[in-house]
């Protein structure tokens, strides 16, 4: 068979190990592997002409290509947030502009025609719920798809674990502890912004591991005065005279909405978030005098941003993608389609791919978040998933 692979959405450590695992197993079993560049964009932009140069859209993969890249972060196939079922008129490939002239265009017929043109039998998209939702759409159109979940936010439905999450948590803990030296030296509040648009796993789990005294997450609209009072209390009780809060990028103040950088949206309708950590920091400083004998407390603001998603994968994000890739080949060898490779309750397996569009996976506030203390709540670890909070709805 000929098997296609693509990586969509944001980059995370662990994508290249997944590509490597799929390629090595497939080639040793006699299959051909083709890697599509720039996520769904590569599959959309192909020119179906043997004389055309499609090197920017796909490439054949072999052991020599994937062996070294398996040790590195990011994705050597590149990525994008392209959604073929919703392509703006100005983004339609030049060779298709006469055919697709609406403000928004569905290029799914071109994607299916391109897969047929290249004789691809199976497609393995690796991505978050946005990327995989289109993979589910292709499966429902009759094309064979096996998907791998990745996102450092840890919020893909149907799996306890997503590629990239462990490295994100590890880096957040490491960098939070490193920043403590400056916060302690200057007796300040330390406000650390992390990714997490709708789900707060990437703030809550590091806080569970001791990265911060408090965390505020998108699932709960918090009161800034209450947070300030808690931070002043933490600082007062700390011999080094500082306190730390992790702030998810999608968090909202009580009575307010998300903070967006501008009105522009991506192909999946998401506006770019921007600057909530800075806003929280400014509010903390202004309100701190109320709880600190009339004296304001200075703030160190740090947005960890891409630092937690760049660089090499940690041990878990090297091991899990290897297992995920091999499970994908197991499913393909059985002729199965429309499955999401997953980790559930400590065991590898798979779930129906349509699960990625069935609900939003977010932190269970009642089970894992103390709304009075604005910090993790965890009293029972039995039967929980490896990362405690990342278990699916049940």
Determine the Cα–Cα distance for residues 276 and 81; give it in Å rounded to an integer: 23
Q: Considering only CA atoms, which of 179, 196, 164, 137 is closest in space to residue 357?
A: 137
Locate 170 and state its tokens.
């590890």
Determine the Cα–Cα distance for residues 21 and 120; give it in Å rounded to an integer: 19
Residue 163 has what DSSP assignment?
A: B
| Residue 83 CA: distances (Å) to CA of 142, 264, 265 | 18, 16, 12
Q: Considering only CA atoms, which of 150, 179, 143 is closest in space to residue 164?
A: 150
Q: Are 149 and 158 in contact (CB under 8 A)?
A: yes
Torsion angle of C-alpha atoms 10, 14, 15, 19, degrees rounded to 10: 180
Q: How many CB atoms lie within 10 A of CB 261?
A: 10
Query: Is 153 an active-site residue?
Result: yes
Q: Are 162 and 150 in contact (CB under 8 A)?
A: yes
Q: Considering only CA atoms, which of 122, 190, 205, 199 is closest in space to residue 378?
A: 205
Determine the Cα–Cα distance for residues 218 and 248; give it in Å rounded to an integer: 7
Q: Are 115 and 43 in contact (CB under 8 A)?
A: yes
CA torsion sign for 222, 228, 229, 234 is positive
Determine the Cα–Cα distance for residues 69 and 364; give it in Å rounded to an integer: 37
From the candidates 11, 45, 130, 153, give the one annotated as an active-site residue.
153
- φ/ψ (deg, to 5) at 343: -125, 120
Q: Are 152 and 195 in contact (CB under 8 A)?
A: yes
Q: Whole-angstrom distance between the N-terminal and C-terminal Cα of the chain?
A: 37
Determine the Cα–Cα distance for residues 198 and 258; give it in Å rounded to an integer: 10
Q: Are 245 and 214 in contact (CB under 8 A)?
A: yes
Contacts of 386 (CB under 8 A, 6+ apart): 160, 161, 343, 346
Task: List the catalytic residues.
Answer: 153
């Amino acid at each position: 068979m000929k098997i296609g692979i693509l990586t969509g959405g944001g980059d995370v450590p662990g994508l290249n190990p997944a590509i490597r695992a799929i390629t090595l197993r497939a080639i040793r079993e006699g299959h051909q592997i083709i890697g599509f560049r720039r996520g769904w964009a590569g599959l959309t932009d192909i020119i179906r002409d043997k004389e055309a140069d499609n090197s920017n859209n796909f490439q054949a993969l072999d052991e020599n290509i994937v062996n070294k890249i398996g040790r590195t972060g990011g994705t050597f196939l590149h990525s994008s947030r392209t959604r073929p079922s919703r392509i703006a008129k100005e983004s339609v490939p030049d060779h298709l502009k006469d055919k697709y002239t609406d403000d928004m265009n569905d290029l799914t017929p071109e994607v299916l025609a391109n897969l047929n043109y290249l004789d691809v039998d199976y497609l393995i998209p690796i991505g978050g719920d946005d990327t995989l939702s289109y993979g589910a759409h292709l499966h429902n159109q009759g094309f064979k798809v096996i998907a791998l979940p990745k996102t450092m936010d840890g919020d893909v439905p149907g799996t306890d674990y997503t590629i990239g999450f462990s490295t994100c948590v590890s880096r957040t803990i490491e960098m939070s502890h490193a920043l403590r030296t400056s916060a302690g030296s200057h007796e300040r509040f330390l406000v650390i912004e992390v990714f997490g648009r709708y789900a707060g796993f990437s703030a809550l789990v590091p806080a569970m591991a001791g990265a911060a005294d408090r965390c505020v997450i998108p699932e709960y609209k918090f009161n800034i005065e209450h947070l300030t009072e808690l931070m002043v209390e933490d600082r007062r009780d700390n011999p080094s005279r500082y306190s730390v809060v992790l702030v998810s990028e999608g968090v909202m103040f009580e009575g307010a909405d998300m903070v967006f950088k501008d009105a522009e949206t991506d192909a999946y309708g998401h506006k770019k978030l921007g600057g909530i950590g800075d806003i929280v920091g400014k509010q903390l400083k202004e309100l701190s005098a109320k709880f600190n004998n009339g004296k304001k407390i200075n703030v160190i603001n740090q947005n960890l941003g891409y630092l937690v998603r760049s660089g090499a994968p940690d041990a878990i994000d090297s091991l899990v993608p290897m297992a995920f890739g091999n499970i994908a080949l197991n499913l393909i060898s059985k002729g199965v389609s429309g499955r999401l490779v997953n980790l559930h309750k400590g065991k590898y397996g798979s779930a129906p791919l349509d699960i990625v569009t069935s609900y939003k996976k977010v932190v269970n506030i009642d089970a894992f978040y103390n709304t009075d203390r604005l910090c993790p709540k965890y009293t029972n670890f039995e039967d929980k998933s490896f990362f405690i909070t990342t278990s699916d709805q049940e």
